[in-house]
Structure 1
Amino acid sequence: MSGTAGTAPRGGIARVSRRVMNLAYILTQNARRHGDRPGFIWNEKAWSWRHIDQNVSALAAALAARGIGKGDRILVHSKNCDEMFWSMFAAFRLGAVWVPTNFRLMPDEVGYLAAASGAKAFLCHTDFPEHARAAANPALEFVWRIGEEGTFGEATVGDVIARHAGASVENAPVEYDDPCWFFFTSGTTGRSKAAVLTHGQMAFVITNHLADLMPGTTEDDASLVVAPLSHGAGVHQLVQTARGVPTILLPSEKFDIAEAYRLIARHRVSNMFTVPTILKMMVEHPAAEQHDHSSLRYIIYAGAPMYREDQKAALNKLGGVLVQYFGLGEVTGNITVLPPGLHDPEDGPHARIGTCGFERTG
Structure 2
Amino acid sequence: MNLAHVLRQAARRFPHAIGFVQGDFTLTWGAMDARVDAMVAALAAQGLGKGDRVLVQSKNCLQMFESMFACFRLGAVWVPTNFRQTPDEVAYLAQASGAVAMICHADFPAHVTAAQAAAPGITTVIAIGAAPFGPDYDALVEAHLGTPVRAADVERDDPCWFFFTSGTTGRPKAAVLTHGQMGFVITNHLCDLMPGTTQADASLVVAPLSHGAGIHQLVQTARAAKTILLSTERLDVEEAWRTVERWKVTNIFTVPTITKMLAEHPAADQFDHSSLRYVIYAGAPMYRADQKRALARLGKVLVQYFGLGEVTGNITVLPPALHDLEDGPGTRTQHTTSDLPISNAATRSMS
TM-score interval w.r.t. the shorter chain? over 0.9
Which digits, 9 at most, give the CA deviation of each residue in 1:284-318, with x for residues without a partner?
11101100000000000001100001101111110
Amino acid corresponding to residue 341 of structure 2 in structure 1:
E
Distance 1:169 1:27 in 2: 14
1:114 equivalent to 2:94? Answer: yes
Which digits, 9 at most, give the CA deviation of each residue in 1:146-181, with x for residues without a partner?
123x3222x011111111011121111111000000
1:156 equivalent to 2:133? Answer: no
Which residue of structure 1 lines up, in the alignment, with residue 317 of structure 2? 337
- Out of 52, 76, 80, the position equivalent to 2:32 is 52
Amino acid corresponding to residue 256 of structure 1 in structure 2:
D
Give the secondary-structure state (helix, strand or coil) at the position aligned to 1:277.
Answer: helix
Distance 2:100 2:133 in 1: 17
**Farther-moved stretch of structure 1 (184-193 vs 309-318):** 184-193
Which digits, 9 at most, give the CA deviation of each residue in 1:204-225, with x for residues without a partner?
0000000000000000000000
Which residue of structure 2 lines up, in the alignment, with residue 147 of structure 1? 129
Larger Rg: 1
User: Residues 344 and 350 of structure 1 are in contact (CA less than 8 Å); yes or no, is this contact kept in structure 2?
Assistant: no
Which residue of structure 2 lines up, in the alignment, with residue 18 of structure 1? none
Deviation above 4 Å: which 4+ runs of structure 1? none
Map residues 123-272 of structure 1 onto 2, 5 A cutoff. Answer: 123-136=103-116, 137-148=119-130, 150-153=131-134, 155-187=135-167, 189-272=169-252
Alpha-carbon offset, residue 139 of structure 1: 1.2
Which residue of structure 1 lines up, in the alignment, with residue 20 of structure 2? 40
Distance 1:319 1:349 in 2: 21
Which structure has greater helix proportion? 2
Amino acid corresponding to residue 187 of structure 1 in structure 2:
G
Which digits, 9 at most, give the CA deviation of each residue in 1:50-86, with x for residues without a partner?
0000000000000000011000011000000000011
TM-score of the aligned structures, taking structure 1 as reference length: 0.92
Alpha-carbon offset, residue 188 of structure 1: 5.5
Alpha-carbon offset, residue 360 of structure 1: 1.1
Alpha-carbon offset, residue 349 of structure 1: 2.3
Which segments of 5 or more consecutive residues in structure 2 lack a partner in the other structure?
345-351
Which residue of structure 2 lines up, in the alignment, with residue 101 of structure 1? 81
1:28 equivalent to 2:8? Answer: yes
Which segments of 5 or more consecutive residues in structure 1 lack a partner in the other structure?
1-20
Distance 2:259 2:36 in 1: 33
Alpha-carbon offset, residue 270 of structure 1: 0.2
Q: Percent identity?
A: 65
Alpha-carbon offset, residue 187 of structure 1: 3.3
TM-score of the aligned structures, taking structure 2 as reference length: 0.95
Distance 2:197 2:153 in 1: 28
Distance 1:348 1:187 in 2: 39
Amino acid corresponding to residue 133 of structure 2 in structure 1:
F
